[in-house]
Structure 1
């Protein structure tokens, strides 16, 4: 199944294309496996993949990306909601079917499996479970603050070694929103606050501030749903390691959810005739009269929560 206008599969678009279909169809299981294979064996940060890895001319292979792109990648714009879409697709299919066999295909770097491929005799080595582990590792890497990637803290000037950012993106373009800024394309500086960085928005435009709040909110929900799904299946259904992955999902989902509330709620001037925000400030001084709290779209993770700031 293709998503978007190109000859490629977008993680997010291919999932939302299913909203008019029934999740019980075999093709949905095939898409779950395809997403898992693409993330685990092609590129954990890519947002769109080619059907196969035989032609480097398909896609944006002139982009300067770290980790490097392979021929199986159409575009490697890291969007946190793309990873959330994989989780949502997985749990939506399971909630509609309780089809454990779909998730038990053995891990293999060979061609991606179809919906009719047999399940694994060892669920702990399943392709899907490996992909979820990698998603968790990727998200954890993107929770780190900018200073954590520098070779020395406090940083030396000039630096003795180049920064070790887990993901960078640069594109030669005349449109600023098509690339990321920074010396290496790492984007804006941030501190560790439990939110997960995102280089691009769902619109494929570059983020201006490193933490995209709607994507983090979606991620929090889907991590907790996948965690519950793994708990329900138990070690017998998911194999050895399934319980540990489930606990990681639940813990990270809760952590990100708290950070959305702590870092993402900001105070802005209440608009005349507006619908109102999350809360409204009444009397009591502190200069907060006439203000209301709303969720920001993006934040720096520098303590904007609880005051005027964000975007």
Structure 2
């Protein structure tokens, strides 16, 4: 049902005064006036301030400023709705630890699922990195960052192999029910009162490093990292990383015990691991870290998942600088930190060397064509490789975005060409083509479903004005009038999509617009009508 903005605003104001605001899962599936004045007449999707989960004057000022930066009314509406989406809808609880009144906590939901993913929450915070500055204020973005880092550290200390978590007990929010996890058999075991799902994903560990590095780079607040549980959380991460270098077979051929195993009763192969939870065999001596699942929460085909190893290496190196700063501080953890900083630097460098040694493969050539050396998506250490890419970050396409390499890197450029090719014998089997949108997808939703997230990453990793402009046109034209970034869109029919409330993808869109304003402002002066 469509309501006028004024009428609905009055309704919300009254509801907020009574402590009730509409469920955004339903609200975001409806059209709300005033519509944008462009061709696509995109809905206004922001709750009124009283119903937003966090209000930031810095974010509001930037949204107002960009009205003169973005010429196209539909593109501006999409930015206006998307950029603040995490703050508007997903900051579920802010508070302090029960055992330490100085330890800030922030519980961030991914959107329509009332649980906190390590990966999603780190990326949801990254959306506001350009506005992050040192602050001790309760209503600052810095406070949100610190709360996310502290809560993630708690999660990692209790269940370092898990990816998604329940609300902290201090919040008073009841644990969410994950019906899919009812048949799980997981090693090591976990408690469903604190864990929502326990799929071991290397990128989830990298996400904790990412949000830490982002906060430190923007604030230089080294003192914060010497307090609370950040240093022990890094120790837990390093233990998992080293343990998950365990191959399948010992030197005598004996099958080794795996530190992590997972099975689930399911009809989807991507929801469980092969070989009774062991996963596909992994070779010895690669120097790479295994990952049972991808950032899509789908199981890996081959457990040496290259994008996650890239991301882990990049942010482990950055986190080592934080650890070195803690070692120089007056923190009680300074002594432990000194040794950890060197260990982190060494592991980050060795992973980079291992990726170059095992993650670059030669794809088969066509007649008269010798093939290219490109990055594989996954390898097993026995010579097998998955030649593809997935929309979720970390991906191969996103490697320059998260700072692993320069986008001009020749191996990356060849890899990029393959990722964005869905038609040739050497193309990406999960590149979706169609008249509506052309983008990388993945097995999580399946063939035919293109992910706008991958389109956003394509823009973030391109210097080609024509490519950027065409990709922007496709994003703006495929929201089905709702004015939000969907999880996926049918490449032939933009009226078919999944998950309208996906805060990470919405924030990433805003991040991309800010990036374009910095390096290609003339593109934002175009109109996409």
Q: Are 1:80 and 2:183 counterparts? A: no
Q: Are 1:141 and 2:141 counterparts? A: no
Cα separation, partners in 2 of 1:265 and 1:237, compared to 1, 3 Å: farther
Aligned position for 1:10: 117
Q: How does 1:32-43 map to 2 (within 5 A)?
A: 32-41=149-158, 43=159
Cα separation, partners in 2 of 1:50 and 1:58, compared to 1, 3 Å: same
Aligned position for 1:118: none
Q: How many Å separate the matches in 2 of 1:268 and 1:303?
A: 12
- SS of equivalent to 1:182: coil
Aligned position for 2:166: 50
Deviations 1:108-155 (A, max 9, x none): xxxxxxxxxxxxxxxxxxx1100001100100000111124xxx9443
Deviations 1:162-202 (A, max 9, x none): x532101111101111111113x010111231100000111
Aligned position for 1:191: 283
- SS of equivalent to 1:240: helix
- SS of equivalent to 2:335: coil
Q: How many Å separate the matches in 2 of 1:4 and 1:297?
A: 28
Q: How does 1:48-127 map to 2 (within 5 A)?
A: 48-52=164-168, 58-59=177-178, 60-70=181-191, 71-106=193-228, 127=229
Cα separation, partners in 2 of 1:230 and 1:57, compared to 1, 3 Å: closer
Return 5+ residue gaps in structure 2 as ranges: 1-107, 134-140, 388-529
- Report the alpha carbon displacement of residue 87 of structure 1 after superposing the two structures with TM: 0.3
- SS of equivalent to 2:299: coil
- Report the alpha carbon displacement of residue 102 of structure 1 after superposing the two structures with TM: 2.4
Q: How does 1:17-36 map to 2 (within 5 A)?
A: 17-21=124-128, 22-24=131-133, 25=141, 26-36=143-153
CA RMSD of aligned residues (A): 2.3
Q: How many Å separate the matches in 2 of 1:228 and 1:101?
A: 13
Deviations 1:67-108 (A, max 9, x none): 1121200000111111001001011101111223322333xx
Q: How many Å separate the matches in 2 of 1:197 and 1:28?
A: 28
Q: How many Å separate the matches in 1 of 2:366 and 2:113?
A: 41
Task: Tell me if structure 1 keeps the 8 A contact 2:324–2:338.
Answer: yes
Aligned position for 2:294: 201
Q: How does 1:240-259 map to 2 (within 5 A)?
A: 240-259=335-354
Worse-superposed segment, 262-271 or 77-86: 262-271
Q: Are 1:301 and 2:381 counterparts? A: yes
Q: How many Å separate the matches in 2 of 1:244 and 1:65?
A: 32
Q: Are 1:214 and 2:321 counterparts? A: no
Aligned position for 1:267: 362
Task: Tell me if structure 1 keeps the 8 A contact 2:160–2:236.
Answer: yes
Cα separation, partners in 2 of 1:56 and 1:20, compared to 1, 3 Å: closer
Q: How many Å separate the matches in 2 of 1:182 and 1:246?
A: 37
Q: How many Å separate the matches in 2 of 1:16 and 1:271?
A: 39
Task: Tell me if structure 2 keeps the 8 A contact 1:100–1:237.
Answer: no
Aligned position for 1:175: 268
Q: How many Å separate the matches in 1 of 2:110 and 2:366?
A: 38
- Report the alpha carbon displacement of residue 268 of structure 1 after superposing the two structures with TM: 1.1
Task: Tell me if structure 1 keeps the 8 A contact 2:327–2:335.
Answer: no
TM-score by structure 1 length?
0.78
- Report the alpha carbon displacement of residue 310 of structure 1 after superposing the two structures with TM: 4.2
Q: How many Å separate the matches in 1 of 2:326 and 2:224?
A: 13
TM-score by structure 2 length?
0.47
Aligned position for 2:419: none
